Structure 1
Amino acid sequence: MKKSLLCSLLALSALSACADMPTLELGVGMYRIKAEVAHTNAARMTGLMHRTEMPSDAGMLFVFTRAAKHCMWMRNTLIPLSVAFIDDKGHIINIADMQPQTETSHCAESPARYALETNIGWFAARKLQAGTRIAGIERAPAPE
């Protein structure tokens, strides 16, 4: 199979996996973010891969099947992102900035149940840091 055809098929599968994702409005203090919810294995594996842009008030919430020191990387992800690792109660554990198309692991400093990816700098611009609570996370669909 030619490389360009394979890349096209991968991009289409990524888009179809995201097309069925539920969305959830999350609150962080006075700020709101509309997050796509990656609660299935396929959605978590695809994440924000192959996208060329994301609205400034949007993100993706990853819901994991159990709390653990999960790690994220940016393989096939074209936009720079920040990720907040979040505990069972909705509090930010730590935040990391991630550069596009890299395979550097960015990991939770303690067991995380969720990860919220936003455009890079979203948390810093709002002076949000470890300990901040993300409201609405409890309405996320159960992980599959």
Structure 2
Amino acid sequence: MSLLTTACASSSAWVELAGERIAVEIADDDEERARGLMFRDTLADGHGMLFIHEREERQAYWMKNTRIALDILYFDASLRLVSQQRDVPPCSAGDRCPPYPSSKPARYVLELNAGEARRMDLQDGALLRLGPGVGEAP
């Protein structure tokens, strides 16, 4: 078992969205945000990755070296869903992968398996709830 798998398995970070609790890995520094979910073959059901930015501003994510289709959900500093990119396909084109921007400024970005936003019937304005310790400075 890799260190990354061990760390993720022991992580207890979570968020709640649309009445569902989602186990999340946290990406809150430049290195973690840059790597994101690259090179992963799967993302377990009920799991996601939460990207936390220092400032609320327009964000743009891409799927470079990402092997799984994702929903990319953008939340503002008040934890309101402000933009969605659903069913974003994997991309193996390296630096030629297209960006998927937020339509409004965002501070938090949640990546889930493609289809989850539709399954949860997410609408802009939905509130994200952070679990204990999530989003706090280390």
Moved over 2 A (4+): 15-23, 137-144
Confirm or deny that 1:53 pairs with 2:47.
no
Structure 1: state its 5+ residue gaps.
Answer: 1-14
SS in 1 for 2:56: strand
Query: 1:74 maps to what in 2?
Result: 63
Match of 1:100 among 72, 86, 90: 90
Letter in 2 for 1:83: I
Give the aligned residue type for 1:126. M
* 1:120 aligns with one of 106, 109, 114: 114
Inter-partner Cα distance in structure 1 for 2:134 and 2:48: 14
Larger radius of gyration between Structure 1 and Structure 2: 1
SS of 1:33 mapped into structure 2: strand
RMSD across aligned positions (CA): 2.2
1:141 maps to 135
The alpha carbon displacement at 1:16 in A equals: 6.3
- Distance change (3 Å), C-alpha of 1:95 and 1:138: farther
Structure 2 length-normalised TM: 0.84
Higher strand share: 2
Count of residue correspondences: 130
- Residue by residue, what CA displacement relative to the aligned partner does 1:48-82 show, whole Å, maximum 9, x if unpaired? 00000011100000001111101000000000000
TM-score using structure 1 length:
0.80
Identity fraction in percent: 25
Cross-structure match for 1:131: 125
| Cα deviation 1:24-43 (Å, max 9, x = unaligned) | 21111321111101011110
| CA distance, structure 1, for counterparts of residue 105 and residue 137 of structure 2 | 16
Q: Flag structure 2 segments of 5+ consecutive residues without an equivalent.
A: none
With over 3 angstroms needed to count, the CA separation of the structure-2 counterparts of 1:39 and 1:20, relative to structure 1, is farther
CA distance in 2, matches of 1:18, 1:88: 30
Task: Give runs of aligned pairs for residues 32-43 of structure 1, distance below 5 A.
Answer: 32-43=21-32
Shift of 1:19: 6.5
Distance, in Å, in 1 between the alignment partners of 2:132 and 2:80 is: 11
- The answer (yes or no) to whether the contact 1:94–1:108 under 8 Å persists in 2 is yes
